[in-house]
Chains A and B, each alone.
Chain A
Amino acid sequence: MKISKEADLSVDFCGVKFQNPFILSSAPPTTTGEMIKRAFDAGWAGAITKTLAREETPNVKPRFGSLSYPGSPEEPKKIYAFENIELITDRPFSVWLEEIEDIRKSYPDHIIIASLMDDASHPEGWKELAKKVESVGAHMIELNLSCPHGMPEKGMGAAIGQNPELSGMVTKWVTDVVKIPVMTKMTPNVADISQSAKASVENGASAISAINTVAAIIGVDLETFVPKPAVSGYSAHGGLSGRAIKPVALKAVATIGQAVDVPISAIGGIATWEDAAEFILLGASTLQLATEVMVRGYGIIEDLKDGLSNYMEDHGFASIKDMVGVAQKKLKALSDLSKEYKVVSSVDESKCVKCDICYISCQDAGYQAISLREDRIPIIDEEKCTGCSLCYQVCPVWDCVAMKEVSAG
């Protein structure tokens, strides 16, 4: 037995020192300066303000929708996807400037980042916003080039981010007039997310954050025929967040990491320390959260830090820096993956509940490699099995089907 040492969670992110990699993203949990202070008290290392603009933007009501696992008395409902049609800040820029200044003074060890937005025809607007937030002490600026709803129709948000040329241009306007690091926030609603990221970096961006929400409609009310969320009988598409978009975000972070040489702040479906660890391994060095905080509150930071630090300790990572991008090196083009590596499925008879699910899947979507014994235990024909793992995916029992290696390739 040894006396345990807490892993060091601090991280240098484009020259800015964070106590830990966890940041509140620009979203409802950072609606006011007072809220940001409470989050800092809870243990968050940094926060990005709701997006600031020259004018405040009023919101519609209601503006959220969600998808949950069905829920039952035994298994209460759990949200896995969240949609919003909320817009940028509805509070005056001048008030925000006072709050940023106040936070800088009262929380010297925490990082406050200003999220900014204007349209691509207003260089002076961008410059003025940037210079003002720098003058009141913001540590960094994040350019919102990615909001997928409401703002693009006014030539803002994703309307800029979807165009690498505009992304580069806007980034340059801002990086030309401030000394603090500028990060640009990318939209996943594009064919290749690395294009605008590259354009930003070429024009002075010190970091990239990704992803903003995925453009989405969460559902349709089957009685009223109105898409959700309904605002006085009509709806508009919004942005999807939460656990459901994590795989999209993981891919985006990996792709951006391969394309540019600046630090990445990951956003998209991070809810637990395991999610955080995956993003770091794929190349992120800070992590932004919002949806899980909207569901569970600022207190989740405790679990995030503790879980991540235990993981790092267990796996011999002395710092976040050592962990960043370790899994990115294990990504190849699909055509470069081994064709000789072979696995076949095997079933643990003692765990099988004889539900036939693997059998049906293999019959109707596989290679008909599973037959049923008289007692309904599935039997794998290893000659026919192509190792696709569909049976393993669909089996409802933990550790019942396994894919065993037959050739190391």
Chain B
Amino acid sequence: MTRKVFEEAEKGYTPQEAVAEAYRCIKCQDAPCNKGCLAGIDVAKFIRQIANKNFGGAIRVIREDNILPGTCARICPQKELCEGKCSSTELAQPISIGKLQRFVADYEREKGAKLLAKLEPKNHSVAVVGGGPAGLSAGTTLARLGYDVDLFDANPLPGGLLTYAIPPYRLPYEVVKDEIEYIDALGVRIHSESFIEDIAGLLDKYEAVFVGLGLSEGDRLAVEGEELEGAFQGLDLLREIKLAEIGNRAIQIQLASRVEIIGGGNTAIDAAVSAKRLGAQDVMVRYRRTEREMPAWRGEIEFAQKEGVKFEFLCTPRRFLEDGGRLRAVEYVRMKLGKKDRSGRPRPLPIEGSEFTVEADSVIIAVGQTIRPGILEGADKTPQGAIQVDEETMATSIEGIYAGGDLVNGGDTAVRAVGDGKRAAFAMDEYIKKKQKSEVRIGSGRKDKYA
């Protein structure tokens, strides 16, 4: 059964299929697809290259702006980004941009990659903290700009949630591994198992620092019985699946045949589909608002439905019931939607007296993720608790420290993190150049008349 979780769900294009799909592109002058890419890829150009069978050129155009081409091709919600803007939608259906990108990324993995160009060494050092998409993108861009880059990551392997959370049926670890090898070859020095306690302290040794630490901690529900045996964090289940994939071993978490999933984001969906693919008979996702407010992407929800995952809305757990220290059932309460809250979505309110109990041996909690406590304590935060940055430069309120990815946007796509990292790298380059200029002095600096 576990094979279903490790096997990639979607098949890639053959060269003929890719050329035929690219040929379908009507090649609009204003290329709305380009405006839909958060990493700034010249989408129209790489589609033309594929139509002209210039596969090597296509992957280089993509990688120029997105250092994780095979990864984002697989996990981007393209329907909400580039494909959502495609003019061919009016004719028949949008060009399958994600699948085309995946095709050339896979083609390159098979044929061997050519390294992107780099500028002359600048002999200045910068540090990157966090090896997820934002950090990898910032690090790569800085290395290409000529900087010595030290990237620190707390985990045994870099990649962040790409390595430790995205289930293999969506993103095989091998893909991420190859992309990291490429980044390594571009000269980013990756230091694994390197937890940085004092981020601001890095400024003593480095000209500037980028922080892309993401949201590594799963939120708790704070209800009675949450620690019972049989209740897991969604991130813990996904991490175990990835560790089993990477280590080529069996998954050690045993799920019951009935699994309750609590939450409405992509982690909840990934956990639900994984549970199903691991062999659970009944998998029920329960979310406290309605389908319309679910933060998970439309395409992922539809995929989960196809896989047989069921959904129930407007309910939330009140407590977890035990039987000899082990989870036995969940007591839920029904909800109704109230006025809009700070997130702009209607606030769910419990309907007193509507409690109901569901027998369950396994419960997976995936109700949101947060910043690890204590990160960048001196930096300004948004009202939602994310790190506050300048939108253009990704600079935090601490001079010389930049940040991007989920840490600043509260949880979004990998491709947005890639875009953040790239933008921050260019801003850091400007910052360092300016700083160097102001540090260069001509003459002794003496102001007396004999100087």
Residues of A that sit less than 8 Å from B by CB: 1-4, 73-76, 78, 272-274, 296-297, 302-303, 306-307, 310, 314, 398-399
Docked-complex contact A303 and B49, CB < 8 angstroms = yes
The list of the 7 closest CB pairs from A to B, nearest first, reads A4-B114, A307-B54, A73-B92, A306-B57, A398-B16, A272-B52, A310-B56
**Distance between Cα atoms of A307 and B19 in the complex (Å):** 14
Chain B residues, CB < 8 A from A74: 24, 91-92
Among B23, B54, B182, which residue has the most Cβ atoms of chain A within 10 A? B54
In contact, A2 and B57 (Cβ under 8 angstroms): no
- B445 contacts across to A, CB distance below 8 A: none
- Tell me the interface secondary structure of chain A in the complex: loop
Question: Bound complex: CA of A169 vs CA of B29, how far in Å?
Answer: 46
Say yes or no for B251: interface residue by CB 8 A criterion. no
In the complex, B112 has a CB within 8 A of chain A:
yes
Q: Using Cβ atoms and an 8 Å threshold, which residues of chain A touch B114?
A: 1-4
Report the contact-size class of chain B (Cβ under 8 Å from the partner). 20 to 34
Is B3 interfacial (CB 8 A cutoff)?
no
Confirm or deny: B27 has a beta carbon within 8 angstroms of a beta carbon on chain A: yes
Which positions in B face A, CB cutoff 8 Å? 16, 23-24, 26-27, 29, 45, 48-49, 52-54, 56-57, 60, 88, 91-92, 112-118, 182, 185
Contact B26 A306 (CB under 8 A): no
Q: Which residue of B lies closest to A74 (CB)?
A: B92
Q: Chain A residues near B116 (CB, 8 Å)?
A: 4
Bound Cα distance from A274 to B29, whole angstroms: 23
Are B29 and A297 touching (Cβ within 8 A)?
A: yes
Cross-interface CB contact of A1 among B26, B92, B112, cutoff 8 Å: B112
> What is the count of residue pairs linking A and B with beta-carbon distances less than 8 angstroms?
57
On chain B, the residues within 8 Å of A307 by CB distance are 49, 52-54, 57
The reply to whether B182 and A306 contact each other, CB–CB distance below 8 Å, is no
State which of B27, B49, B115 has its C-beta within 8 Å of the C-beta of A2.
Answer: B115
CA distance A302 to B58 in the complex (A): 12
A residues less than 8 Å from B91 (CB atoms): 73-74, 76
Q: Do B49 and A306 touch (CB < 8 A)? A: yes
Contact, CB under 8 Å: A3 / B115: yes
Shortest distance between the CB of B28 and any CB in chain A (Å)? 11
Which single residue of chain A is at the shortest CB-CB distance from B29?
A297
Are A306 and B112 in contact, with the CB atoms below 8 A?
no
A273 to B57, CA, bound (A): 12
A302 with B45: CB separation less than 8 A: yes
Which B residue sits closest to A76, measured CB to CB? Answer: B26
Q: Bound complex: CA of A3 vs CA of B48, how far in Å? A: 24
* Residues of chain A contacted by B112 (CB below 8 angstroms): 1
A314 to B16, Cβ gap below 8 A?
no
Known A-B contacts A73-B92, A76-B24; the reply to A306 vs B54 at CB < 8 A is: yes
Measured between beta carbons, the chain B residues less than 8 angstroms from A399 are 16
8 intermolecular pairs with C-beta atoms under 8 Å apart: A1-B112, A3-B114, A4-B116, A74-B92, A274-B53, A303-B49, A306-B54, A399-B16
Taking CB atoms, residues of chain A closer than 8 Å to B54 are 273, 303, 306-307, 310
Chain A positions within 8 Å of B53 at CB level:
272, 274, 307
- Asked if A75 and B24 sit within 8 Å, CB to CB, the answer is yes
Which residues from A are CB-within-8-Å of B48? 303
Name the B residues within 8 Å of A73 (CB-CB). Answer: 91-92
Q: Complex formed: what's the CA distance from A78 to B56 in Å? A: 25
Question: Nearest-CB distance from A122 to chain B (Å)?
Answer: 43
- Report how far A182 CA is from B116 CA in the complex, Å: 42
Closest residue of chain A to B55 (Cβ to Cβ) is A310
- B88 to chain A: which residues have CB within 8 Å? 76
Q: How far is the CA of A4 from the CA of B91 in the complex (A)?
A: 39
Contact across chains for A1 and B56 when beta carbons are under 8 A apart: no
Which residue of B29, B92, B117, B182 is within 8 Å of A4 (Cβ)?
B117
* Chain A: minimal CB distance from B17 (Å): 9
